[in-house]
Structure 1
């Protein structure tokens, strides 16, 4: 089963080295640039497809625009990744694969579901990342959300084991 790795804002900011966002996760499970970079490179070597949700693009862009340091260089790095996803350049999934999630009916579903999530302190960005994960799971992929946020990680779909096929008895 093909795997997709959905990259959350926290990890993308660490990977891009956005100032004041160089680490994420808990004290017991800290992620820094070296760990994120190694993990993503291992996944690429394993032919995992990387997925960049719209929320991750927007939130990371907001963090870059507010960062100290060379915002232009950081923005160029993010722009390169966004362009690769838009062009479906390996290892990135085509960004257009997610376009169905932004159609009217799906936006209405988000509007219906999000207030309950917000009451649990789940942001609308995280709610959309959860939806992206569910979308890829339903499409038959094994899904991992790469995040330092244990609340979002809890929404990572579990992939059911394939149902064994019965052998036909001859005779």
Structure 2
């Protein structure tokens, strides 16, 4: 099982300034699909972060085209045609408590902020940990191009 990070989604969607590894990501996705080596989960956090990256594009044309591609991808998730499934997570007090504590990382949210691991990346780790807590007999990693996040993945 692999959680798809924002860096992967931005490359697949060709988000300007966030897609320098697009060819590599496409090849890797094709390989994952052909070998059936792992199932992919799309964290809620990656959806929110990707949407924010798109909304912050300064060029209106690129913002529109990326938003359209993003909406189309989300529609494929809803219809079960995407190469990944949505990781459904409940945002409640327990989730926020875990986020503040830093989950299984051994450092708090504040400590991670000092070390430049953002709240979104930390939340992807929390989503993965909560997924593992509610399933049994599975392992889960994070497919990411982010070096800091990869250290915890």
| Residue 39 (structure 1) shift | 0.4
What is the CA–CA distance in structure 1 between the aligned matches of 2:76 and 2:92, rounded to whole Å?
A: 23
* Aligned residue pairs, count: 142
Unaligned runs of 5+ in 2: 103-108
1:16 and 2:5 matched: no
What is the CA–CA distance in structure 2 between the aligned matches of 1:144 and 1:36, rounded to whole Å?
A: 16
What is the CA–CA distance in structure 1 between the aligned matches of 2:63 and 2:117, rounded to whole Å?
A: 28
In structure 2, the residue matched to 1:73 is: 65
CA contact (8 A) 2:10 2:19 kept: yes
1:57 and 2:47 matched: yes
**Higher helix content, 1 or 2:** 2
In structure 1, the residue matched to 2:83 is: 91
What is the CA–CA distance in structure 2 between the aligned matches of 1:152 and 1:88, rounded to whole Å?
A: 28
List structure 1 runs of 4+ shifted beyond 4 angstroms.
none
Greater shift in the superposed pair: 59-68 or 134-143? 134-143
| Residue 35 (structure 1) shift | 0.8
1:42 and 2:39 matched: no
What is the CA–CA distance in structure 2 between the aligned matches of 1:111 and 1:88, rounded to whole Å?
A: 33
Q: What TM-score do you get using the length of structure 2 for normalisation?
A: 0.80
| Residue 80 (structure 1) shift | 2.0
CA RMSD of aligned residues (A): 2.0
- Secondary structure of the structure 1 residue equivalent to 2:89: helix
In structure 1, the residue matched to 2:149 is: 152
Q: What TM-score do you get using the length of structure 1 for normalisation?
A: 0.72
- Secondary structure of the structure 1 residue equivalent to 2:116: coil
Unaligned runs of 5+ in 1: 24-31, 157-171
Q: Output aligned runs, 1:90-109, within 5 Å.
A: 90-93=82-85, 95=86, 97-100=87-90, 102-109=91-98
| Residue 87 (structure 1) shift | 4.1
What is the CA–CA distance in structure 2 between the aligned matches of 1:142 and 1:46, rounded to whole Å?
A: 18
Structure 1 pair 135/112, CA: closer, same or farther in 2 (3 Å)? closer
